[in-house]
Structure 1
Amino acid sequence: MIKVCLFCLLFSTAPYAKAASETDQLILINLAVNQLSFFENGHYIRTFSISTGKPATPTPEGTFCVINKYKHKKYHRKNIPGGAPNNPLGARWLGLNKTQYAIHGTSKEWSIGTYESNGCIRMHNRDVTWLYDRAPLQTKVIIAKFYESPEQAAHRYGYRITSWNGQPVQEEQVGRLLIIDKTSMYWKEPHGKLIPIQEVLPNQKFVVLSHNGEGMYDLGNNFYILDQMGKSTRYEQVPLHIIANQYKRKHNVP
């Protein structure tokens, strides 16, 4: 069996130094498509549609953090009480360490998805309430323009991502197998003989723990799928930086 080698990658990913006050959450804002993605403990969790700054008052790019949080914050500029239907700050406020900028709700729910704010990041009130409950103070916030998946961008910006296409990766997983034509699953008996036990239908996916490079995929617990000609399955290897990040997180490697 061939196992993916990760040791040569352990020190090849982007530098990562976790400060004592830093949390293991990340808010990643993509100005190119007006989306906010949330990560926790290395895993991609959710993406939300947002509104950001109009051309005259753009949302600043850079790395920030959450420094204060309020429920139903009063809008002091026009003396609108918190919780009022016309309060432009909406249901929740997560203030950034950039004066006057925040992630907050809105009284203009229709504006979400547009470039319409004065520079803040607006969210639907139901969405900002969800985020408020999960993003503690000191949560890192990265605001940028990018044209890649949130997971790829998070990795590029130095977050130790360990999810893959929105799914957690098992500790010993090296890949994923998609069934594209019906095939058989085998069980390996103690003497090594492979016995077919069930038919596997298209569109099923399986975690792969190892493979021999010749179409024999180990699914764990002595279960295997064979496809030497590569006609019934499509194999995708877990990106090596994810395997390296798993190791670093588990062993607290700087």
Structure 2
Amino acid sequence: MIGCILLTYNRFSGDRQFLLSESVESFLRQTHQDAVLLICNDTPGQKIQVEDEIGRRIRIFNFERRFPFLTDKIQAMIDKNPDCDMFCRWDDDDISLPNRLTLSHDHLLAGNCLEWRPNNYVWSTSPGSYRHISKPGNTHVMSLWRRDVLKYFPEGKYPQRISGWEDQTFNQYLSQYNVPRSVEKSISYQDVTYVYRWGASDRHLSSKRQGSDSSLQAHYDSIGTQPIRAGNFTIHPYWQRDYESEVRSLDHHVSDSSRSRGNSPIASSME
């Protein structure tokens, strides 16, 4: 079974709870059914839940203390869900199209490997605005990997790294410790699985990418100082737009101008 790890924090304060709703809706639309959504919420005093009819597919873990690093949250989901033998990241401000898990699972099995990812997706800077991106350099948030990958890492668990660099570290470990995996593969634009949204959330650590390690962690820490709206809140899944139709109707031959400038966006951590 695939465990889709969704990290979230304080989404019901402010006006960005719709991001969480859209991410959950993205999971419910998946064509691959042998999967569970693992929501890790470490917002003290703010508990989230879903309606009973979808609860069997979603596991929510509400913690009363905030984890000091993003990697702590990821590892907690791995540890608390031993029945999941595969995992993927499920960022709460991006959109996964319905074919994501099916396509990834099929490629992982066909390649008899421990990790697989596409190297192209669509990038969105505003509602309804999309651009095809290929060879972005890092697509860990779009990958699918087996639990056994962690046996190759020296710590025996998800790489523990300062918040903001855990995705690059995971990729570096794959190469450094010779993890059997497939080469990043370009897929047909008609099969693209992921909409990476830039600027939808003020909690992207990507905005601090050019800073030092300390500034990245400082940004993560500062998020934890924002006011918390205490209470119990229910996630109501929905999509604001028909992302599937919008992406599939894109001109497949539109070139990626950002790539020629050498500044392709890099999928990165958020909370």
Task: Calculate the TM-score normalised by the size of structure 2.
Answer: 0.26
The structure carrying a bigger helix percent of its residues is 2
More relative contact order, 1 or 2 (CA 8 Å, 6+ apart): 2
Greater C-alpha radius of gyration: 1
The structure carrying a bigger strand percent of its residues is 1
